[in-house]
């Protein structure tokens, strides 16, 4: 395995882990205003994500840093071609963080309502734009050797919107399962009921996405060339089925773990089909940015590999300890913990 291939795998893994972790607090943020019926339940829903949301975003920073260092041409191109979408994601993440931290700084009803809706909207906007971005990358951007000629609004094409819908419903299900696992009482019951409905919606959108992918992208070419890789989407389907199985058995933690696996494997399915491209061109295949023509030099990649071997395990241990510390079910007393 060459260093370019290794870093393509690491790059994809970082994005997959980010979506797995930040996905459930995006989902919980979108659902909170609709599932929580009183101030106590709103506090519990916020306490379910309050201790972990900022740690989850470490993986986004790591994925962005890996893109900058390992594939600088891709990083520069993204901030040239997709500057406005990336700016929208940044603003959404800022508003989400501020809303979580500012919400309980005042007892005023309008103050809290404003930040509650700011959390809801920002938690929706970020996965919407991320889904649009990745959907258009899967489809291929309008690039030539002279650069990108597509603009912003063409990103809102049917396949891009379908990919965004898949991101949103996956995260909604992920968030509902997290709230069911972490909270109790009526809030957990409503989260459980919604998660049951969302499973069928996720399945329907996923089927539409798979069909549309065959017509709109070249992601299936790698699978046709190497059928053994079909194991990855098969595992994604089995993982989604496991969500339903464990959920019907009222086993919240295994159902949430299966949802984590579903998110990871859905991203892996797309990345296997994308390889070796990072940003394919829909106009000229020679203009595509790949793991081989956009990477840093061997010395930088070797140095980054050493750094990753040292620091990524530290991040994993840190997050494991955080989740272990906050693993207990939330009670009404936790609703006023300052989140």
Q: What is the mean pLDDT of residues 113-118?
A: 94
Q: Could you tell me which residues come within 8 angstroms of residue 28 by beta carbon, excluding any fewer than 6 positions away? A: 45, 48, 49, 123, 175, 176, 178, 179
pLDDT at 108 over 90: no
pLDDT at 162 over 90: yes
Percentage of the chain modeled with pLDDT above 90: 74
Name the H helices within 140-230. 158-182, 185-216, 221-225
Inform me whether the pLDDT recorded for 338 exceeds 90.
no
* Separation CA 61–CA 298 (nearest Å): 23
Bridge partners (DSSP) of residue 143 are 148
pLDDT value at position 291? 94
- In 3D space, the residue among 25, 329, 37, 44 whose CA is nearest the CA of residue 172 turns out to be 25
pLDDT, tens digit, 9 for 90 and up, residues 176-225: 999 999 998 899 999 999 999 999 999 999 999 999 999 999 999 999 99
Contact 23, 263 (CB under 8 A): yes
Closest residue by Cα to residue 332 from 113, 36, 26, 28: 36
Q: Is the pLDDT of residue 1 over 80?
A: no
Number of structural domains in the chain: 1
Buried residues in 237-251 as b, exposed as e (16+ CB within 10 A): bebbebbbebbeeee
Answering whether pTM is above 0.85, one says yes
Please check the confidence at residue 337 and state whether its pLDDT lies above 60.
Answer: no
Choice among 100-104, 175-179, 269-273 with the minimum mean pLDDT: 100-104
Which residues form the domain of 216? 3-336
């Amino acid at each position: 395995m060459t260093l370019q291939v290794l870093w393509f795998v690491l790059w994809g893994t970082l994005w997959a882990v980010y979506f797995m972790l930040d996905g459930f607090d995006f989902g919980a943020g979108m659902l909170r205003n609709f599932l929580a019926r009183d101030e106590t339940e709103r506090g519990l829903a916020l306490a379910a994500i309050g201790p972990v949301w900022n740690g989850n975003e470490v993986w986004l920073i790591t994925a962005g840093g890996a893109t900058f260092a390992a594939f600088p041409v891709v990083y520069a191109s993204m901030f040239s071609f997709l500057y406005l979408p990336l700016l929208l994601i940044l603003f959404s993440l800022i508003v989400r963080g501020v809303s979580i931290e500012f919400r309980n700084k005042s007892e005023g009803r309008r103050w809290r309502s404003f930040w509650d809706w700011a959390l809801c909207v920002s938690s929706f906007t970020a996965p919407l734009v991320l889904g649009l971005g990745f959907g258009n990358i899967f489809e291929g951007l309008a690039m030539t050797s002279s650069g990108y000629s597509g603009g912003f609004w063409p990103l809102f094409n049917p396949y891009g919107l379908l990919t965004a819908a898949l991101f949103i419903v996956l995260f909604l299900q992920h968030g509902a399962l997290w709230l069911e696992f972490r909270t109790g009482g009526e809030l957990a019951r409503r989260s459980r009921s919604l998660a049951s409905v969302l499973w069928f919606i996720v399945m329907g959108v996923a089927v539409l996405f798979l069909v549309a992918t065959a017509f709109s992208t070249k992601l299936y070419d790698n699978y046709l060339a190497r059928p053994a890789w079909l194991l990855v989407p098969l595992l994604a389907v089995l993982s989604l089925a496991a969500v339903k199985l464990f959920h019907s058995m009222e086993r919240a933690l295994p159902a949430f773990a299966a949802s984590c696996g579903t998110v990871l494997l859905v991203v892996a399915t797309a990345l296997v089909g994308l390889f070796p491209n990072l940003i394919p061109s829909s106009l000229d295949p020679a203009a595509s940015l790949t793991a081989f023509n956009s990477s840093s030099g061997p010395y930088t990649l070797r140095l980054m590999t050493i750094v990753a071997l040292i620091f990524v395990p530290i991040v994993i241990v840190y997050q494991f300890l955080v989740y272990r510390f906050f693993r207990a079910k939330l009670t009404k007393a936790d609703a006023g913990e300052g989140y």
